[in-house]
Amino acid sequence: MPELPEVETIRVQLAKKIIGKIIFGQKIVGLRRRAKILIIDLANGQSLIFHLKMTGQLIYNGKPSPYTRKVFNFTDGSKLIFNDVRKFGWWKKAKNVTDLENQFGPEPLLISLLDFQSLFSRKSRTKIKSFLMNQKVIAGIGNIYSDEILYAAKINPVRQANSLSAAEIRLVFQQMKRILALAIRLKGSSTRDYLDAYGEKGSFAKLHKVYGREGQKCSRCHGIIKRIKIGGRSAHFCPNCQK
């Protein structure tokens, strides 16, 4: 599923191409991202909202395929293709997106250490993997990046969030910022269907330490990466490094 780095990559790329173009009779005046959602703002105050879910793609000037759900035609002849193999993704027009944006927790690239620490003051007994993936707690982190953040911080994904020390919380915060920023620079992780707005694969998957590496050796200690289920989702980790 496209997570924060993938959607942010698409936002940055599309902003260079479609701001100022006309669609549905309205000029595009801005592009925003909230959590894993892309928001295209129009001059009349309306917005086009996209959630790519598991397999959605937004390709600028792409070619329609059997998986194309919608073609958005701009008045200059260019277009935006919305593909979705699994058909879980969606788009819609909205006049007010405030209620939608307020459903999510703070943005991980913007939150301060103090505010991040305050999330843990709730003394949540939720497992830390699920805690990081809870969009109401913090926005935009999913399966891939929760695994990679916890590996980098040497935190076992089954630990309860309220068991982390102040030093461990600080380390999770630091690794969260570092990994998400690096993933954006590398245009995201293409593990399955994700492509950027130009139809290209992101290259951060080459740097994955645990996600998708079940049964392989840990690059840090040479232990074996394991995969377990937490809350119905897969968690990849090194039992030796992440005790």
Strand partners, 8: none
pLDDT band at 123 (very low <50, low <70, confident <90, very high): low
Q: Which of 64, 69, 233, 239 is catalytic?
A: 233
| Architecture of the domain defined by 113-237 | Orthogonal Bundle (1.10)
Q: Which of 11, 33, 34, 36 is catalytic?
A: 36
Q: Is the pTM of this model over 0.85?
A: yes
User: Does the annotation count 11 as an active-site position?
Assistant: no
State residue 124's pLDDT score: 77
User: Does the annotation count 27 as an active-site position?
Assistant: no
The superfamily in CATH containing domain 4-101 is: MutM-like, N-terminal (3.20.190.10)
User: Does the annotation count 136 as an active-site position?
Assistant: no
Domain-wise residue ranges, the chain: 4-101, 113-237
User: Does the annotation count 226 as an active-site position?
Assistant: no
121 CB-contact burial (10 Å; exposed 0-12 / middle 13-18 / buried 19+) = exposed
pLDDT in tens, 97-118: 999 999 999 999 999 999 999 9
